[in-house]
């Protein structure tokens, strides 16, 4: 049975859920939006198991952090928010780095969020962050 939880900020000194993924490789990622370059540090969810767990069980994500899900070869994918307690922006990226779609995912929502076309990566960042920074479809991601 799924139990919805409210997307409240964690209390200070809240212990980290031991089910959250740890130890993934981290790399820099930039998104070029017009003349502005937005910098992030992202964890790489490379294996099928890492991709399945994603950002599940996390209580927060810093504004300059995220997770990248690479796909070789490019493919159509769908994301959902099972066991994901924080809102996320889901950014679908083509092989050339072009952002094809940005969708907003609600905590614990099991509604599939499809890429709509074959993509080479999906970037997850804090919910609302893309709009806050002015990141949009057609911008370029590089990692």
Residue 129 neighbours by CB under 8 Å, 6+ apart: 63, 89, 135
Can you say how many angstroms the Cα of residue 142 is from the centroid of all Cα atoms in its chain? 15
Pairwise CA distance, residues 108 & 20, whole Å: 15
- What pLDDT does residue 21 have? 84
Provide the 3-class DSSP secondary structure of residue 52: helix
Query: Which pairs from 45-48 meet CB under 8 Å and 24+ separation?
Result: 45/21, 45/69, 46/70
Domains and CATH numbers, the chain: 26-142 (2.60.120.1140)
CB count, 10 Å around CB of 1?
2
Using the predicted structure, report yes or no on whether residue 1 has a pLDDT greater than 80. Answer: no
Q: For the segment 107-119, what is each residue's pLDDT rounded down to a tens digit?
A: 999 999 999 999 9
Q: For the segment 75-107, what is each residue's pLDDT rounded down to a tens digit?
A: 999 999 999 999 999 999 999 999 999 999 999
- Tokens representing 75 are 């493919």
- DSSP class of residue 134 equals T
Q: What is the mean pLDDT of residues 62-87?
A: 96
Using the predicted structure, report yes or no on whether residue 7 has a pLDDT greater than 60. Answer: no
Q: For the segment 8-57, what is each residue's pLDDT rounded down to a tens digit?
A: 444 443 446 778 888 899 999 999 999 999 999 999 999 999 999 999 99
Using the predicted structure, report yes or no on whether residue 72 has a pLDDT greater than 50. Answer: yes
Q: What is the mean pLDDT of residues 56-65?
A: 95
- HSE-up (13 A, CA, CB side) for residue 88: 31
- What pLDDT does residue 135 have? 98
- What pLDDT does residue 10 have? 41
């Amino acid at each position: 049975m799924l139990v919805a939880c409210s997307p409240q900020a964690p209390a200070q000194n809240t212990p980290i859920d031991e089910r959250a993924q740890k130890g993934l490789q981290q790399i820099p990622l930039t998104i070029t939006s017009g003349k502005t370059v937005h910098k992030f540090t992202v964890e790489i969810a490379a294996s099928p198991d890492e991709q399945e767990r994603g950002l599940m069980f996390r209580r927060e994500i810093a504004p300059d952090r995220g997770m990248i899900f690479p796909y070789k070869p490019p493919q159509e994918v769908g994301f959902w928010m099972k066991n994901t307690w924080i809102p996320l922006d889901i950014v679908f990226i083509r092989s050339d780095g072009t952002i094809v779609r940005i969708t907003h995912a609600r905590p614990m929502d099991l509604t599939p969020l499809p890429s709509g076309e074959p993509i080479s990566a999906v970037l997850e960042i804090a919910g609302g962050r893309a709009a806050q920074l002015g990141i949009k479809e057609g911008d370029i991601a590089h990692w």
